[in-house]
Structure 1
Amino acid sequence: MGGVFWDVKQLQTFIVLTRLLNFRAAAEELNYSQSTVSDHIRNLEQELGVKLFERLGKKVFLNAEGKKLIAPAQKMIQDAEEIHELFNKGEKVQGSLRIGASETLCAFWLPPLLKEYSKIYPKVRITLKMADCLDFHELLEKNIIDVAFNLHDESKRKDLFQIDIFDDSTIFVATPDHPFSDLEEITISQLEHQSFILIESESGYSMELKKTFQKQNVKVDSIMELGSIEAIKQCVKEGLGISLLPRIAVDKEIKNGELIALPVETNNILIHAKMIYHVNKWMSAPLKALKDIVLLKTEK
């Protein structure tokens, strides 16, 4: 094989294009021109003597030959990063860090951490991707992100390292003028025929609440499921129903009097915040620095 195949930038372009399957989107993410992305892929295909993508009209598809290249390309990119760092240990931590985070942590916990991190390591370029907790396993496995901050990972997968960050309680919230606002104690059965607005998810605290309703045979009038905590809070403020949310997500509204906490008797549905990365993931300097800060905070 000639030297062209070993061009790490071309391999990086290939990996991004396998994920986005769009030359324009790949160019924007890589900060290249679209013609540069096309040249990188063309040179790879010429060097290997195979087509890596099929182009049908304006659509791009990864073919069988392209799928075979993903794993070795990712390894070569990682090896190149390790070599680069090996001879730059005297320099300050620099490079890139791709972080995935659930909405709760992305909005209410992660910003101060990233502010502190960026202040200490200004040369690290951070990319933050908000996603559903159920998506992080695949994102880590495909090396789309380096690390994830999520909630409720009960998979116990052996190919993932998990660091416990903190536990937090959930809380039932409603408008201050809700009929239940004057009650000192509310049982689960009293929630019968109430309307609920919950986060859209197949796991976590919303599913725990649904299981509790089923177990105690409590039938609610309706359950509206939304993908955004901010949207849920707005709907609750408009009196559209009750919600169960992490305390960290509603502390501000409760203090401001926009929402109230309802004293519902439950088995204390908790959230468990975790930092997760793949066991085969190379611990780059930016990733190790982030892990060190997180571990320091969990020890406090």
Structure 2
Amino acid sequence: MSRFTLDQMRTFLTVVRRGGVRRAAAALSLTQPAVTARIKNLEDMLGCALFDRSAGGMKLTKRGELLLAHAEKFEHLVELVQRDVVDPEGVEGRLRIGASETIAQCWLPELVSRLHEVYPKLEIELNVDVSTDLREALLNREVDLAILLGPISEYSVDNIILPGFDLAWYTAANPREREGGGGDLTRPVMTYARNTRPFRELKELLYEKVGADVSMFPSTSLSACFRLVEADIGVAVLPRALGAEYVRAERIREFDPGWVPSPLQFTASYLSEPKSHLSETAAALALEVAELYAAGADAL
């Protein structure tokens, strides 16, 4: 009998975890025929069917269940070898990172730079999205590391708490004369996208402190929010770390209405199973970079 390969084992595990060939092909960046061929070759090698193929999808046979248990042990052993034996400079492959826009505009470039220093041959794929979508992408194994508003309360996910981001209120540097001044909270309030935790929390606070007639302008682009404030379209409550540059350039200014939402809490989250030394290392590096960024921001 020929020996099976690492690629065949990874493909088999991916098909099982993703629930089919199509999703496995997308996760592995392969064509569906290539994934099918790997599974067929593995079955031919073992002399048995691993999947029961029916209209209802692919379900493991009894032999497939047995192989799954061994394959997971084999995968764990490979991770231990990569962690303890392989020189980081020789590590190849792909690391898929999903990050919120706040992180992307702050310290994500520094994280990528650090990862390239440790793993020069590693291919890094970035996806910037809202936290709700990043959570689903991580649980669906479409990203390996999610840096998002967390933590993710799932038994299968490990979360590393990152330094938070203080929020501040902003208005135009030279707002037009109006009743209430530039910091009038009855004006449109620019903030995070509608399907995010910061939007929901801000909406509840505005209803409580200003009233139900408050006008909110949610946006997936924080840069657009700052530009709208600069143009005196409205006010905004956004991360101080991102607003500092605009304030220094005297394009906008902070104001104090007497209250501000709680700081944004981010986590570096990754799946605990299957264990991935690469994801763990990237999450630990994310914490180091975030702490250095926070220390620098505090010094400003």
Equivalent-residue separation in structure 1 for 2:65 and 2:147 (angstroms): 24
Amino acid at match of 2:149: L
Shift of 1:244: 1.5
> Which one of the candidate residues 98, 112, 115 is aligned to 1:117?
115
Residue 199 of structure 1 deviates from its aligned partner by: 1.6
Query: Is the CA contact 1:45–1:51 (under 8 Å) kept in the aligned structure 2?
Result: no
Is the aligned partner of 1:65 residue 2:62? no
CA-to-partner distance for each residue in 1:194-227, whole Å, 9 max, x for gaps?
1122221444322222111111242455322222
TM-score (norm 1): 0.72
From 204, 209, 234, give the equivalent of 2:197.
Answer: 204
Which of 139, 164, 168 is the aligned partner of 1:167? 164
Counterpart of 1:213 (choices 206, 228, 236) is 206
Q: Quick one: which amino acid aligns to residue 290 of structure 1?
A: A
1:288 corresponds to 2:280: yes
Give the TM-score of the pair, scaled to structure 2. Answer: 0.72
2:245 aligns with one of 245, 252, 256 = 252
Residue in 1 that maps onto 2:270: 277
The answer (yes or no) to whether the contact 1:152–1:271 under 8 Å persists in 2 is no
Give the structure 1 partner of residue 12 of structure 2. 11
Match of 1:82 in 2: 76
1:103 to 1:50, Cα distance in 2 relative to 1, 3 A:
same
Residue in 2 that maps onto 1:261 = 254
Alignment match, 1:92 = 87
The answer as to 2:179 corresponding to 1:177 is no
* Residue of structure 1 in register with 2:298 after alignment: none
- Tell me how far apart the structure 2 counterparts of residues 151 and 43 of structure 1 sit (CA, whole Å): 42
The answer (yes or no) to whether the contact 2:99–2:128 under 8 Å persists in 1 is yes
State the partner residue of 2:216.
223
Q: In 2, Cα distance between the equivalents of 1:76 and 1:248? A: 48
Change (3 A) 1:150 1:87: closer
Q: In 2, Cα distance between the equivalents of 1:201 and 1:19?
A: 33
Aligned mate of 1:142, from 140, 143, 158: 140
Residue in structure 1 matching 2:188, options 182, 195, 199: 195
**Cα distance in 1 between the residues matched to 2:133 and 2:227:** 26
Structure 1: distance between partners of 2:218 and 2:22: 30
- Please give the per-residue CA displacement for 1:42-89, whole angstroms capped at 9, x wherever unaligned: 66899446437x6xxxxxxx83638xxx99999877644433344453
Contact 2:79 2:275 in 1 (8 A): no
Cα displacement (A) at 1:107: 2.5
Q: For residues 220 and 243 of structure 1, do their structure 2 counterparts lie closer, same or farther at Cα, with a shift above 3 Å needed?
A: farther
Between the two proteins, the alignment pairs up a number of residues equal to 282
Mark the CA change 1:132 to 1:222 in structure 2 (over 3 Å): closer, same or farther: same
Whole-angstrom CA distance in 2 between matches of 1:4 and 1:22: 22
Does the aligned pair in 2 maintain the 1:176–1:257 contact within 8 Å?
yes
Match of 2:53 among 36, 40, 51: 51
| Partner Cα distance (1:207, 1:239) in 2 | 24
Unaligned runs of 5+ in 2: 296-300
Q: Post-superposition shift, 1:253?
A: 2.0
In structure 2, relative to structure 1, the CA distance for the partners of 1:121 and 1:223 (3 Å cut) is same
CA distance in 2: counterparts of 1:248 and 1:290, whole angstroms: 23
Corresponding residue of 1:57: none
Q: Specify the code of the residue in structure 1 equivalent to 2:251.
A: E
Output the amino acid matched with 1:51.
Answer: R
Q: Is the 8 A contact 1:11 1:73 kept in 2?
A: no
Q: Does the CA-based 8 Å contact 1:174-1:243 persist in structure 2?
A: yes
Q: Where do 1:14-29 residues align within 5 Å?
A: 14=15, 21=22, 26=26
CA contact (8 A) 2:161 2:268 kept: yes
Identity %: 19
Task: Assess if the C-alpha contact under 8 Å between 2:115 and 2:282 holds in 1.
Answer: yes
